[in-house]
Structures are given as C-alpha cells and as structure tokens.
C-alpha cells in the first residue's frame, strides 16, 4: 500500500470517527437539555407549593406534577441505562462479527497468495528439469509470465491490500486513534 492510499484510508477513518463523535455529542446535548427542563419544571412546582397564595387544588396539582416528573425521570433514567447497555452490547457484538469476518477474508486471501507463489515455484522447478516435455515447459512459461505481468494482491477498491497484515494494521490504527482520543479527553 503506497502513501497516498494510506493517507486516503486514514482520512476516511478520521472523518467517520469524527462523524460518530459529533452524533454522540448532539445526542448527549439533547438529553442534557431534556433533563435540565425536567429539573426546572420540578423546581418551579416546588416554588409554587411554597408560596402562600396557592389554593388546595393548585397544591394538589403541583404535588401530582412533581410526583409525575420524579417517576418519569426515574423510569426514563433506568430505561435509558438499559437501552444504552443494550446498544453498547449490540455494537460490540457487531464489531466482533465484523472483525471475525475480516480476519477470515484475510486468511483466505493469504492462502490464495501462498498457492499462487507455490504454483510459480513449481513451474520454475519444472523448467529447470531437463526431462520436462515441451508442452509442460510452454505451460509453465505461460503461467510464470501471466503471474508476473498481471497478478497483484486483492485490494479494497484500490485503497488497501487485503492480506495477512491487514488486521495488524487496523489494530495499530485503532490503537493510535484511541490513544489520541484519550489524550484529548484528559487534557
């Protein structure tokens, strides 16, 4: 993989990560605004209850509103925590599935590359054998020529090669980004 491919892949991953962070930040801001609005409504009801001008029906109304907000807020927090846990668990399972599939593809591609190398080596050894018939020699020369002229490793849309080193490069890149994000978070 040459330098421009590496830069393209890296920039795409950075943009994807930034998009995810922006979405999480926007969702967190909306949730925080909602929680602040709930707390403000509860404080307003409590202030109205402490005023001496409230009638009995108004006091009952404010108490019911406070009870309703507290019950809803508690239920939403518990339900929200469960949903967050479920979402994180689902995302982690999805990522593990993707990593296993990627690993399987890389292993099979690497086996294919090894088979192609073994075929070329066998053809070279056949050509060195003087007792090899002319038809086999021609076939071996064609195989070697075709392999050297048109064979290249499989790539993902020309961005990076799919081989045994791909999972290692991805883990390296993810580790680098996690370290960077942790440094930014703790500054």
For the chain, what is the mean pLDDT? Answer: 77
Phi first, then psi, for residue 54 (nearest 5°) are -75, 140
What are the pLDDT digits (tens) for 68-114? 766 666 555 555 555 666 676 777 777 777 778 888 888 888 888 89
pLDDT at residue 118 in the model: 92
Please tell me whether the overall predicted TM-score, pTM, comes out greater than 0.75 for this model: no
What are the pLDDT digits (tens) for 17-55? 777 777 766 776 776 777 777 777 777 777 777 776 777
- Comparison of pLDDT for 134 and 96, the residue scoring more: 134
Tokens 């020369």 correspond to 141
CA gyration radius, the chain:
32
Q: What is the DSSP letter of 52?
A: T
């Amino acid at each position: 993989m040459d330098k421009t491919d590496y830069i393209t892949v890296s920039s795409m991953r950075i943009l994807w990560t930034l998009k995810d962070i922006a979405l999480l930040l926007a969702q967190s801001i909306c949730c925080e605004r909602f929680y602040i609005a709930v707390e403000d409504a509860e404080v307003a009801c409590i202030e109205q209850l402490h005023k001496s001008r409230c009638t009995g029906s108004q006091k009952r109304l404010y108490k019911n509103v406070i009870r309703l907000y507290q019950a809803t807020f508690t239920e939403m927090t518990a339900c929200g925590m469960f949903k967050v846990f479920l979402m994180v668990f689902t995302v982690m399972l999805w990522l593990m599935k993707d990593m296993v599939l990627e690993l399987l593809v890389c292993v099979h591609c690497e086996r294919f590359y090894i088979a192609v190398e073994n075929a070329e080596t066998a053809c070279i050894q056949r050509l060195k054998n003087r007792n090899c018939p002319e038809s086999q020699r021609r076939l071996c020369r064609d195989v070697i020529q075709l392999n050297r002229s048109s064979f290249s490793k499989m790539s993902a849309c020309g961005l990076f090669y799919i081989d045994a080193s791909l999972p290692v490069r991805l883990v390296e890149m993810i580790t680098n980004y996690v370290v960077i994000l942790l440094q930014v978070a703790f500054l």
